[in-house]
Amino acid sequence: MSVDRSDPAVPVIRVGGDLAYTTATPLRMEVDRLLGTDPATLVFDFTELQFIDSTGLSVIVHAWREGQQHGSTVQLSAVPRFLETILDMTGVTGLLARPVGDGGPATGPQGQPTITA
């Protein structure tokens, strides 16, 4: 995990490798710390994500919930297919998805779909 704070209003958390039980707690702590600064948007960049379990998924839901309380938007960028499937199957996509512009999906780096809450 790394954090890009080049734009303080839109910090980007790059999540790579496995987002599972052993790595979820440090990520959740970073989410809480960043949302404590009341950014306009908090971005998760999943370009290098290889695996996610239910604990990792709970961090995404936690970020959305805390973002709502802080008035911050949570955006998922470069979402891999396997994560899209998990988000759809668990109903989290419906929780996060919001229309963008003309109602079409937003895109991130290399035209990857993004999910915004």
- Chain-centre distance of CA 82, in angstroms? 15
Q: Which two structure tokens, joined as six digits, stand for 109?
A: 């780096």
Q: In whole numbers, what is the pLDDT of the chain averaged over residues?
A: 85
Helix, strand and coil content of the chain, in percent to the nearest 5, comes to 45, 25, 30
Total structural domains within the chain: 1
pLDDT in tens, 28-48: 999 999 999 999 999 999 999
Identity of residue 78: A
Residue 27 — very low, low, confident or very high, per pLDDT cuts 50/70/90? very high
Residue 97: the pLDDT is 54
Identity of residue 9: A
Q: Which two structure tokens, joined as six digits, stand for 11?
A: 């910090």
| 57 pLDDT above the threshold of 80 | yes
Query: Domain limits at 94?
Result: 2-116
| 10 pLDDT above the threshold of 50 | yes
Residue 110: the pLDDT is 46
Specify the DSSP class assigned to residue 70. Answer: H
Q: What CATH number does the domain containing 62 carry?
A: 3.30.750.24
Q: Three-class SS of residue 48?
A: coil
